[in-house]
Amino acid sequence: MKKPILLVVMDGVGFSKTNLGDAVSLANTPTLDYLLANYPNVRLKAHGSAVGLPTDDDMGNSEVGHNALGCGQIYSQGAKLVNESIESKKIYTSNSWHEVVDNVKKHNSTLHFLGLLSDGNVHSNISHLIAMLKEVKEEKVNKVRIHILLDGRDVPSTSALIYVNQLEDVISSLNDSHFDCAIASGGGRMKITMDRYQANWKMVEDGWKTHVLGEGRMFRSASEAIETYRQEQEGIIDQDLPAFVIAKDNKPIGKIVDNDSVVLFNFRGDRAIEISMAFDQKEFDKFDRKYYPNVVYAGLLQYDGDLKLPARFLVNPPEIHNTLTELMVQNNINEFAISETQKYGHVTYFWNGNRSEKFSEKLETYVEIPSDKVSFDERPWMKSAEITDRLLKELKSHKYQFLRVNYPNGDMVGHTGSLPATICSMEALDLSLARLLKVCKEEGYIMLVTADHGNADEMLEKDKKGNISVRTAHSLNPVPFIIVDDDNKYTINEGSFGLANVAPTIAKLMDLKIPTSWEKPIIK
- Which residues face 9 on adjacent strands? 406, 450
* Tally of CB atoms within 10 A around 327: 23
Q: What angle do CA 461, 462, 463 make, to 5 degrees?
A: 125
348 DSSP 8-state letter: I
Element (H, E) at 338: strand 335-340
Is residue 276 within 8 A of residue 303, CB to CB? The reply is: yes
Q: Which of 339, 334, 342, 347 is nearest to 388 (CA)?
A: 339
Integer angstrom CA distances of residue 400 from 359, 394, 403, 476, 503: 16, 8, 7, 34, 17
Distance CA 27, CA 430 (A): 9
Pick from 503, 497, 500, 493: which is nearest to 523 by CA?
493
Beta-bridge partner residues of 519: none
Task: State how far the Cα of 18 lies from the Cα of 419, in Å rounded to an integer.
Answer: 15
- Angle in degrees, CA 106, 108, 110, rounded to 5: 115
Q: What letter would DSSP give residue 222?
A: H
Of residues 223, 245, 206, 253, the one with CA closest to residue 110? 253
CB 413 within 8 A of CB 384: no
Angle between helices 502-509 and 62-71 (to 10 degrees): 30
The 3-class secondary structure across 104-173, one letter per residue, is HHHHCCEEEEEEEECCCCCCCCHHHHHHHHHHHHHCCCCEEEEEEEECCCCCCCCCHHHHHHHHHHHHHH
Active site residues: 62
Q: Do the Cβ atoms of 256 and 178 come closer than 8 Å? A: no
Backbone angles phi, psi at 391, to 5 degrees: -65, -40
Q: Burial level of 173, CB count in 10 A (0-12/13-18/19+)?
A: exposed
Q: β-strands 446-450, 479-484: how paired?
A: antiparallel
Looking at residue 396, its amino acid is K
